[in-house]
Amino acid sequence: MRISTEQKNLLSQAAKLRTMTLSGFVLERAFSAAEEVLTEQSHFFLTPEQWDTFCKAIDEPARTLVDLKNLMNEDNLSDG
């Protein structure tokens, strides 16, 4: 990774405070950041009103999507 001297010094100081190597510190922080980004994509938060609307929507009976049903029944789709 290419970083400036100032950036490397800052990261090195932080790593030393955690009694870690620079590589270990950067890897740990990058891993934490990656987990946070992925969590944001899989968890969402709703107000009570939004939650009620969401629950009503998922409790509705499933709709048949005729075009999708026809597509899934095409012979060449399952031929591989």
* pLDDT computed for residue 71 by the predictor: 87
Gap between the Cα atoms of 54 and 48, Å rounded: 10
Asked whether 20 and 28 are in contact (CB, 8 A), the reply is yes
Total domains, the chain: 1
* pLDDT computed for residue 43 by the predictor: 77
Q: Which tens digit of pLDDT belongs to each residue from 10-69?
A: 999 999 999 999 999 999 999 999 999 998 888 778 999 999 999 999 999 988 889 888
Domain that holds residue 53: 5-78
Gap between the Cα atoms of 26 and 69, Å rounded: 49
